[in-house]
Amino acid sequence: MCISSSRLNMVLFIKVVLKFLTYYSLALIFVVLSAICIDSFYVFKDYEHYYAGNQVSLNRGVLSFNRFNNNKENNKYDSFIFGSSRSIAFKCSEWEKYLAAEHSSYHFDSLGEGIYGISIKIKYLDSIGQRIRNAIIIIDQDVLSITNNRDGHLFIAHPSISNESKLEYYYTFIKAQLNIKFIIAQIDYAGFKKYRPYMSNLFSNVSEPFIEDPITNDLWYGEDKMIRDDSTRYYDRLIQAGVFYDDRPQNDKHIYDIEDEWLLLSNIKDIFTSHHTQYKIIISPLYNQIALHEKQVKMLEAIFGAENIYNYSGVNEYTNNYGNYYEQSHFRTHVANQIFEDIYQTKIGEQEYPKVAPYVQF
C-alpha cells in the first residue's frame, strides 16, 4: 500500500518535532540541574556560612529559616528578634546581656519584612512547639504596610512558613538564576570584581564582606569596617551623592486603614499570651524623621500595652545625626545598643499580660 506524500511529510514532521522536544527537554533538564548544583541563592543545600566570599544578594528570610531549622535542636532557642533588614542593627549578642543566662536568642529577620511575614514566622514557631520566652519586634511604617506574602526571589517566604506551593517557591529561584541579566552580572563580577549600576538587587555594593554569626544569625555589615577605617571619607561620599539631606518632611498626612494590621498584630499577641512571652515593640528611628502615625501607635498600645511600646520615630537625638546611619534607610548598631540600654533597666523576669483588646476605631 502506498503512503501518500502528505501523510509521509506529516510523519517526518512529527519525528522532527519529537526529536526537537527530546533534545530541548534534555537541555532544559541539564540547565535546571546545573542551576540547582550551582545554587547561587543558597536555597537548595544547607550551609553554615552564607556570606563568606559571596556578594550575591540573598533572600534573608529563607536564610534565617534554614539556619534556624538546622540549629534549633542543638541550641534550644527561646528568645527571638523579628523585623526587616533594619532590625539587623539589633544583635542577639548584645540583647543577651539583658536576658537571664538560661535564655538562647536567635535573629529571625527577613529582607523587606512586613508584619505579615513576622506574623507567619511567629505562627510557625508556635505550630512546631517552639518556646517563645522573649521577643523583640522592630517596627516602622514600611513593616506595618506589608500585610501579605511578597513575590520575587529576594522576598518570597519559605513554604514551611507560608504554607504556599513548594513548586512555585523553587521555580522562583530557578527562574531568577537563569535570568540573562543575572548570568551576565555573574560573569561580569567574576571577571572584574566591580559593582556596576545594572547589578542593583543582584549583588552587594560593598567592598568589605559581611560578618555573620552562624548560631544567632546576627549580621555585621561590611560598611562597619569602612566607617571604622575612614568615617570622613565614607560620609563625605554619601553626602556628595545626596544620600543624606536636611529637608526632611517629618509629617505623615496619609490616612491609614489599620484593620489588616490589627488582625495580624492581634494574632501575634495571642501567641505571645499563650507562651507567656515577655516582649518589646520598638518603633525604629528612621532618618526621614517621619513619626509613626498616631493611629498606628494607638493600635500598638491597645494590643500590646503602652508599657511595651518604645517609639523612636520622628525627631530625636538619633534621627538628627546622619552619623547614626549607614545610609538613609538603615541605622547603625551603636544606636540599637543604646536603645537596648534605654529600654532594659534590669534583667528580664516573669510577668503577666492582659488579653488582646477588642478591635476599636481611632
* Region class of 175: left (phi > 0), else alpha (psi between -120 and 50), else beta: alpha
- Asked if residue 59 has pLDDT above 90, the reply is yes
φ, ψ at 226 (rounded to 5°): -60, -40
CA separation for the pair 182, 93 (Å, rounded) = 35
Mean pLDDT, rounded, for 258-271: 95
What's the confidence (pLDDT) of residue 33?
76
Domain boundaries of the chain, sorted by first residue: 1-38, 60-150+206-343
- Asked if residue 25 has pLDDT above 70, the reply is no
- Asked if residue 285 has pLDDT above 90, the reply is yes
- Cα torsion angle, 140, 142, 148, 153, sign: negative
What's the confidence (pLDDT) of residue 352?
34
Instruction: Yes or no: say if 124 and 268 are a contact pair by the CB < 8 Å rule.
Output: no
3-state secondary structure of 326: coil
For the record, the C-alpha cell of 27 comes out as: 537541555
Rounded to the nearest integer, the mean pLDDT of the chain is 87
Mean pLDDT, rounded, for 54-82: 94
Contacts of 189 (CB under 8 A, 6+ apart): 55, 195, 199, 203
> DSSP of 70-110, one letter per residue?
HHHHHH---EEEEESGGGGGS-HHHHTTSS-TT--EEEEE-
CA separation for the pair 354, 70 (Å, rounded) = 34
CATH number, domain 60-150+206-343, options 2.60.40, 3.30.70, 3.40.50, 3.30.200: 3.40.50
What's the confidence (pLDDT) of residue 31?
64
Q: How does pLDDT run across 303-350, given as a tens digit for each residue?
A: 999 999 999 999 999 999 999 999 999 999 999 999 999 999 754 443
> Comparing 69 with 202, which gets the higher pLDDT?
69
How much is the pTM?
0.87
